[in-house]
Structure 1
């Protein structure tokens, strides 16, 4: 799917009709990560934790290949499951039975869910309960399901209302379970993470795409994160040189 079509669907059928929090910067980054994965031949299902009314899950549905499943986990206590499913399928009618919604409290999950194959996810969006223990539990339970080329997206990593999100990310990345995972890019709302060996690949692809003009590199943990849509941008050639230097 071309980005222009994805953006038009959101503008015409989602933005003013489905309540939620999914902004243009991340619509672009979701599309770009998906494009990079498809260009690289990276396959796998997609998954979202914390669906609400389905606003961001629609992007996963629109971008899914014909043989890929979209898994959606939520307690569905704020919005009935049927409402979220109807919103997603209205915009993604071709999904059909490939949309799998699972109701339950993720805070009680003590390991990766069995309905998803380990190493079976290429894209994971974590947007469920935002306190430190819950985010850490979600990271521990769901990142083992990522493929070696998969991406995990952590919502509200920079919102002062949710200080537990970045602290949980840091604890996870410094733990034995998460030492192979590192953040590689940041929007104004979300942090994008992948396996260490893929960090430079995703960063270089984002820079050379030319789709995001305002970017810079920031030291985070023991690596660098590509700050997207920053107020202090660096020229693309400078960014590429910095990536080459390590």
Structure 2
């Protein structure tokens, strides 16, 4: 198991208490699908390990780690702080992941798990040197967005997957990374990658037979009732498109660190001793005097000559 790097250990960094505290993009639809595919494979006793190329701050890796079986290996491959070998990749790293460090990933991951995954720090092209061919049942590709690198990642993962293994490609349709879209659909057209389903951000496919997975997936979607879906056809092959807006999230990884207790605000001593009713209800306002009351008071305080004149005027008014 790879140990944290020495200059500042993961133990010294702030830790999230919920998965939502971890920076990254991992939406409900994909959480549901990751959970379903891994559970479906487990129900069918399909062997294999887990793999992620590109980890960012660890959000999806934390989620995957919570679904890891005791006899399985989880490998994460990322550049982290290492320099990229070509200018275009270096430019992308500086623009998109300037704050990314291996220490941050490790701190986030260890907030939810006792041990780190097997970490391979470097370009995703080296992953085949560290993972056995045919040993992976579920792979998530979210590393470089450049066409050449994504194409290479897809070909590498093809050799690492089991016969019925599932590969997930992130950002297959995002406008800022057309290279991912090109590499994804080229693999469908030329590399025998067979689509299973898509969400707004991720493509799910296999080099095995997608039909049993698609049938089981549609049955599960219909049973839930809170996931919208449709079936389209690409090159005469079915493709499930789904959206999970408003759907209930799957079980979340539990942090090993409880959030700080929230204390009730303290009131001043004088205020604390006052009766509860006085704090909840404003003091009663004095009654508004009526017109007759005002008139009587006026007669009492005015000079006698003025008072007699007012009385005479009122009598004349009543006699009319």
State TM-score, norm by structure 1: 0.80
The question of whether the paired residues in 1 share the 8 Å contact of 2:227 and 2:244 is answered with no
Matched residues in 1 for 2:234 and 2:32: separation? 23
Separation in 1, partners of 2:197, 2:108:
29
- The corresponding residue for 2:108 is 87
**1:204 — aligned with what?**
215
Instruction: Structure 1 unaligned segments of length 5 or more: list them.
Output: 1-10, 232-246
Across the aligned residues of Structure 1 and Structure 2, the Cα RMSD in angstroms comes to 2.0
Alignment partner of 1:47 is 2:62: no
In structure 1, what is the Cα distance between the partners aligned to 2:215 and 2:64?
A: 23
Moved over 6 A (4+): none
| Matching of residue 123 in structure 1 with residue 141 in structure 2 | no
Using CA pairs below 8 Å that are at least 6 residues apart, which structure has the higher relative contact order?
Answer: 2
User: Which of 1 and 2 has greater Rg?
Assistant: 2
Classify the secondary structure of the residue corresponding to 1:21: coil
Q: Aligned equivalents of 1:81 and 1:124: distance in 2?
A: 20
Aligned residue-pair number: 210
Q: Per-residue deviation at 1:12?
A: 6.0
SS of the residue 2:18 aligns to: helix
Aligned equivalents of 2:77, 2:127: Cα separation in 1: 12
Query: Which stretches in structure 2 are left out of the alignment for 5+ residues?
Result: 1-15, 82-96, 246-320
Query: Contact 2:23–2:59 at 8 Å: present in 1 too?
Result: yes
- Structure 1 equivalent of residue 203 of structure 2: 191
Pick from 27, 31, 42 the counterpart of residue 27 of structure 1: 31
Alignment of 1:173-184 (within 5 A): 173-175=188-190, 178-179=191-192, 181-184=193-196
How many angstroms apart in 2 are the aligned matches of 1:112 and 1:74?
10
Q: Is the 8 A contact 1:46 1:122 kept in 2?
A: yes
- With the length of structure 2 as denominator, give the TM-score of the two structures: 0.62
Which secondary structure does the structure 1 equivalent of 2:144 belong to?
coil
Greater fraction strand = 1
